[in-house]
Amino acid sequence: MSAVWVEEAKFGRWLEVELAVCRAWARRGVIPADDLVEIEAKSAFTVERSQELEKTTNHDVVAFLTDVAEHVGPASRWIHYGMTSSDVLDTGLGLAIKRAGELLLAEQAALTVVLRDLALAHRDTVAVGRTHGVHAEPTSFGLRIAGFAFESRRNEERLARAVAQCAIGKLSGAVGTYATLPPDLEAEVLEEIGLGAEPVSTQVVARDRHAELVTAMAVAASSLDRLATELRHLQRTEVREVEEAFTVGQKGSSAMPHKRNPITAERISGLARVVRGASVAALEDVALWHERDISHSSVERVILPDAFLALDYMLAKAQQLVGGLVVYTERMQEILESSGGLVFSQRVLLALVGTGLTREDAYAIVQRNAMECWNTRVPLRELLAADPDVATRLDADALAELFDPRWYLRHVDEVMDRVAAL
C-alpha cells in the first residue's frame, strides 16, 4: 500500500497518462511517428529533479514536465499537448485509487474469511449475551462473531462500489470544455489505462466521488472499531472470555510483569478515529469554487494516503487479531452461570403465560423473584421453586427444562448456514 502513494509512483502515473495521450494524438496524425518513438524511448524523470525544479516553478506538474522534457529533448513539445494540470492530476489519482482500492478490498475480503471461520468454529459455544453491558440471555459465541463477518462482507461491497465510482479520470482540458482535447480522445485514453470517464468534469473530477470513498473507508474503520471494542471488553480481567495472542518474549507493561493487554485491538480503535476524521475533511472538499479551485488538493495529499494506509494496516492487524484469538470456552460457561439463572427469566415468563396467566401477572411474578436473586444471590430456579405462584403451575422437571441454555441455540444452525455461504 505504501508503494502506491510514494512520490515515485505518483510521478510514474502522471507519465503513464501523458504517454497514453501522446499515443492517442499520434494515432490522429497530430504527433509525428518519429517524435512519438522519441517520446516513448526517452521519457523519464527523477523525484529529486522534479522537486528541485518545483522550488522555482512553485507548480508540481510544470516541474515534472520540465524534468521529463530534459530527458526527451525537442520531441517533448508534444507532451501535455492540449492538457491542463488537472487532466494529469485527477486521472493519475484515479489510477492510484483503483490500485490502492484493489489492495484494500483483498484485505477486507481476507478478514471476512477469518471471521467466518471463527464463527463456524464456535457455532455451538454457549456464552452470555449482553445488552447495556448487562447479562441478557444465552447466545452462541459463534453467532456473535457471525455478525461481524457479515458486516465485513458489507464493507467489501461498500468499498468496491466506492472505489469503482472513484476510478475515474478526465481529459477535457481547461474548465472541461474539450476545446483542446476531443471527447473521443478522452474515451480512448481512459479505456487504455482502465479508468471510467467523468461525464461532466468542469476542470476536475467531482469531489463527491472522493467523499463517498473516504466515507466508505470510515464506515469500514468503524466496523473494525466495533469488533476491537467487543474483544477489548471480553479480555477484561473480570470477564476474560477471550484474549489476544501473547507471543513469547512479549511484554505487557514496563512496571507490571503480569499484564497481557489488548494492544492490537486498542490500536485498531485508535486508528479508526483517524480514518473517521479523514471523512470529515473529504466532505469539506466537495464544495469547490466555480469550475475549480485547489483547496481540495492540499487536503487530499494528506487524507487519501493516510486513510488508505491506516485502513489497510487495520485490516491486516484485525486478521492477525481474530486469527490468533484465544477463546476460553470454560470461562464463558462460568460467566453464564454467574448470574444465578437470571438469564433464563424470559423463558420462565413465557412458560407461565402458557399456563394461562396474563403477561402482566407472569411478568410481576418473575420480576419479583429476579430482584430477589439480584439482592440475595440465591439462584433464580430455587426461588421460583419455592414460590407458590410458580410451583402450582410449573413442577421441578418443568423448571429444570426452562434453565437449559441449549434451548436458545436451537435455530443457530439455520443462521450458520448463511455464514458458511459467505
- Over residues 119-132, the pLDDT tens digits come to 999 999 999 999 99
pLDDT of residue 251: 86
- How many angstroms separate the CA atoms of 84 and 67, rounded? 17
- Burial class of residue 241 (count of CB atoms within 10 Å of its CB; 0-12, 13-18, 19+): buried
pLDDT beyond 90 at 384 = yes
List the catalytic residues.
132, 253
Instruction: Please give the single-letter amino acid code of residue 49.
Output: R
Contacts of residue 420, Cβ cutoff 8 Å, sequence gap at least 6: 116, 120
pLDDT beyond 90 at 257 = no
End-to-end CA distance of the chain: 26
Nearest-5° angle of CA 407, CA 411, CA 412?
A: 100
In contact, 93 and 300? CB cutoff 8 Å: yes
Helix (H/G/I), strand (E/B), else coil: 222: helix
Give 314's pLDDT tier (boundaries 50, 70, 90): very high
- How many angstroms separate the CA atoms of 166 and 92, rounded? 12
* Residue given cell 477484561 in the structure block: 236
What mean pLDDT do residues 321-348 have?
A: 97
Higher pLDDT, 382 or 257: 382
In contact, 137 and 343? CB cutoff 8 Å: yes
**131: phi then psi, degrees, rounded to nearest 5:** -130, 135
Instruction: Tell me the pLDDT tens digit for each residue of 56-97.
Output: 999 999 999 999 999 999 999 999 999 999 999 999 999 999
| H-helix or E-strand spanning residue 135 | strand 134-140
| Nine cell digits for residue 294 | 485547489
- How many angstroms separate the CA atoms of 391 and 397, rounded? 11
pLDDT beyond 90 at 247 = no
Instruction: Please give the single-letter amino acid code of residue 308.
Output: F
Q: What share of the chain is helix, strand, coil (3-state, %, to 5)?
A: 70, 5, 25
Give 339's pLDDT tier (boundaries 50, 70, 90): very high
| H-helix or E-strand spanning residue 155 | helix 141-166
pLDDT beyond 80 at 184 = yes
pLDDT beyond 90 at 253 = no
pLDDT of residue 248: 77
What does pLDDT average to over the chain? 96
C-alpha closest to that of 16 among 109, 108, 105, 95: 95
Give 246's pLDDT tier (boundaries 50, 70, 90): confident
Give 52's pLDDT tier (boundaries 50, 70, 90): very high
What mean pLDDT do residues 273-301 have?
A: 93
DSSP character at residue 286: S
| Nine cell digits for residue 90 | 485527477
| H-helix or E-strand spanning residue 290 | none
Give 10's pLDDT tier (boundaries 50, 70, 90): very high
Beta bridge partners of 243: 326
Higher pLDDT, 249 or 208: 208
pLDDT of residue 201: 87
pLDDT of residue 203: 87
pLDDT of residue 300: 95
- How many angstroms separate the CA atoms of 46 and 347, rounded? 72
Domains, the chain: 2-81 (1.10.275.10), 86-243+260-334 (1.20.200.10), 340-406 (1.10.40.30)
pLDDT of residue 190: 98
- How many angstroms separate the CA atoms of 276 and 220, rounded? 10
- How many angstroms separate the CA atoms of 117 and 146, rounded? 9
Q: How many alpha carbons fall within 13 Å on the CB side of residue 132?
A: 2
- How many angstroms separate the CA atoms of 133 and 233, rounded? 10
Instruction: Please give the single-letter amino acid code of residue 314.
Output: M
Helix (H/G/I), strand (E/B), else coil: 46: coil
Instruction: Please give the single-letter amino acid code of residue 176.
Output: G
pLDDT of residue 250: 85
pLDDT of residue 255: 85
Contacts of residue 36, Cβ cutoff 8 Å, sequence gap at least 6: 22, 23, 26, 75, 78
Torsion angle (degrees, nearest 10) of CA 198, 202, 205, 206 = -100
pLDDT of residue 197: 96
What mean pLDDT do residues 220-245 have?
A: 97
- The strand pair at 126-131 and 196-197 is best described as unpaired
